[in-house]
Chains A and B, each alone.
Chain A
Amino acid sequence: MAEYPKQVTYCGVCTLPPEYCEFGGTVKKCEEWLKDNHPDMHAKLYSQEAIEQNLSTLSLEAQKRAEKDSQKKAAKAATAEAKAQEQRATSKVIIKRIERNKRKYVTAVQGLEAFGLDIKKVAKDFGKKFATGSSVTKVPGGGEEITVQGDLSDDILEYVVDQYKDIPEDNVECIEDKKKKAAG
């Protein structure tokens, strides 16, 4: 009897077991990922021998169909990627300093999800990085933002640009939101 549970590696790009990457539209990226992360597996799956063997089990007609199919899928994936890139280029991350009480600030961060980030995770990272309270809150009118306790606009700006290479610095903006109360 085999040792269970069996450990299965999944592709960091398309999420399938890497042996199935060839059927998706992101084979090139999948292959790069596997090469970087699991070189032994990559050597096995993408060897010349493996590729030839894969082809030899298909009839010529089926090979042609498969090729057409994968071209279609690749084109689809490319369009999706281009769209995502365009969205990234036009999206903005807003870091807003908000005065809660006199001299007490929170910093709200909006727009990270447009760059494919999981904002729950980012909120946790902020909390850890800056050793402060950080949570995801709903924004009136839909959407969510991260609220960080403290006046951390500049630090967050630096961290975001540094940490998430997909976000160009020009797309991050710091603003101030002063709740003007009567000066006391």
Chain B
Amino acid sequence: MFKKDISAGSKSKVKSSAQRGIRSKVVDQYPLLEPYMDEIMPKKEQLDLVKLPDRVALYTLSSTPLFFQHMDDPLLPHLSLIHRYPSCFPRLRIDRGAIRFVLSGATLMAPGLTSAGGRLPNDPQDGDGEFGMEELEPGTVVVIEAEGKENACMVGVLKMGTAEMKKVKKGQACEAGHYLGDGLWGLDLR
């Protein structure tokens, strides 16, 4: 989505009614963020909407990017927000070999997740249940972590359900929404 460098378009203030709407959408989509919402989007502070190319809207708190959205698609968290609240999102893990593909903006392929270094929900190798027990449906927003790394490297929308991935072990798994080093990551919001 942000393979190229982008620059910020017009910036406008989000009305307080709309701001409440966004807040409740965020909580609906990411219930685990609820306890932190007053920190992430303090009620009294002004949320801004920054227009990005290709009908993407980015919500920011002064110069801190929070969520972005393509048209009426689900709100996706910016990676810097994910890094601050890592376990509040559905997560998967890719093996080390897949990292450089993800960082170059490629669509994530299933083998990167189904291999020994990858992790899916309800994974026998995931003793602590860190990656959840419930299979995820196509269309779910997932945060992609990486083998041997502490911080997530991508967030995107699943193209294939995780149960299906385990079965077929090939094909496109997740669209590259936003990844470390992409245009959104490099966006200058000052």
Q: Are B97 and A58 in contact (CB under 8 A)?
A: yes
Q: Are A57 and B96 in contact (CB under 8 A)?
A: yes
Q: Are B97 and A5 in contact (CB under 8 A)?
A: no
A125 contact set on B, CB distance < 8 A: none
Separation of A55 and B86 alpha carbons in the complex (Å): 26
Q: Are B103 and A23 in contact (CB under 8 A)?
A: yes
B96, B99, B117, B147 interface centre (most CB from chain A within 10 Å) = B96
Q: Mark A13-41, 1 if CB is under 8 A from B, else 0.
A: 01111011001100000000000000000
Q: Are B84 and A8 in contact (CB under 8 A)?
A: yes
- Chain B interface bracket (under 10, 10 to 19, 20 to 34, 35 or more): 20 to 34
A15 contact set on B, CB distance < 8 A: 181, 185-186
Q: Are A5 and B39 in contact (CB under 8 A)?
A: yes
Chain A residue at minimal CB-CB distance from B147? A57
Asked whether any CB of chain A lies closer than 8 Å to the CB of B110, the reply is: no
Of B85, B86, B95, B150, which is within 8 A of A57 by CB? B95
Q: Are B97 and A54 in contact (CB under 8 A)?
A: no
* A48: min CB distance to chain B, Å: 16
A120 contact set on B, CB distance < 8 A: 190
Separation of A3 and B30 alpha carbons in the complex (Å): 18
Separation of A19 and B96 alpha carbons in the complex (Å): 12
Known: A6-B86, A17-B180, A20-B103. 20 other contacts (CB 8 A): A2-B86, A4-B36, A4-B85, A4-B88, A5-B39, A6-B83, A15-B185, A15-B186, A16-B185, A17-B83, A17-B149, A17-B151, A19-B148, A20-B151, A23-B99, A23-B100, A54-B148, A62-B97, A69-B100, A120-B190
Which B residues fall within an 8 A CB radius of A?
Answer: 36, 39, 80, 83-88, 95-97, 99-100, 103, 117, 147-151, 153, 180-181, 185-186, 190
8 A–B contact pairs at CB < 8 A?
Answer: A4-B88, A5-B36, A20-B99, A20-B103, A20-B151, A20-B180, A62-B97, A120-B190
